[in-house]
Amino acid sequence: MTVRVERTFELPAERDRVWSFIADPEKRARPISVVDDFEKTGEHTATWYVRLPIPVIDRRVAIETEETTFDPPRYVEFVGRSKVMRVVGEHELHETDEGTRVENRFTVDGKLPGVERYFKRNMDEQLQNIEAAIREDLGIEA
């Protein structure tokens, strides 16, 4: 089973300001509650270390991520691969009269039981965490 989640939100900020957050892979990773640590390994690559609260995984998992499409200040797509899952994340920024619309899309393919179920139940909360982190980073009240 594959889990797909899309979430869009509006921010009263210029697209370039929002892009400064989205373009930073560590800033994108830190708000995700299961991310335990993060290591930038290249210009467009990083390793996310996650702890998933599911019974079949009792250790920290390294997810090797790569930004496969990077089109400033509009769009970034990244792919993360590990022994337990494959994730594709997309962030697309659109200028609006009031600021910026942020479209987020995530697809998770689990390789172990429970991975998709966890993300199906929790991915919307993780995207809310990203929105809150952007607002905090830019000094925007919710």
> For the chain, which domains are there?
2-138 (3.30.530.20)
Give the DSSP letter of residue 72. Answer: T
| Percent of the chain at pLDDT exceeding 90 | 91
Residue located via tokens 């494959």: 86
According to DSSP, the β-strands at 2-11 and 100-110 are: antiparallel
CA distance 75 to 15: 11
First to last CA, the chain: 34
Poorest-pLDDT segment among 38-42, 52-56, 86-90, 135-139 = 52-56
Q: Convert the pLDDT of each residue in 26-48 to its tens digit.
A: 999 999 999 999 999 999 999 99
**Predicted structure pTM score:** 0.92
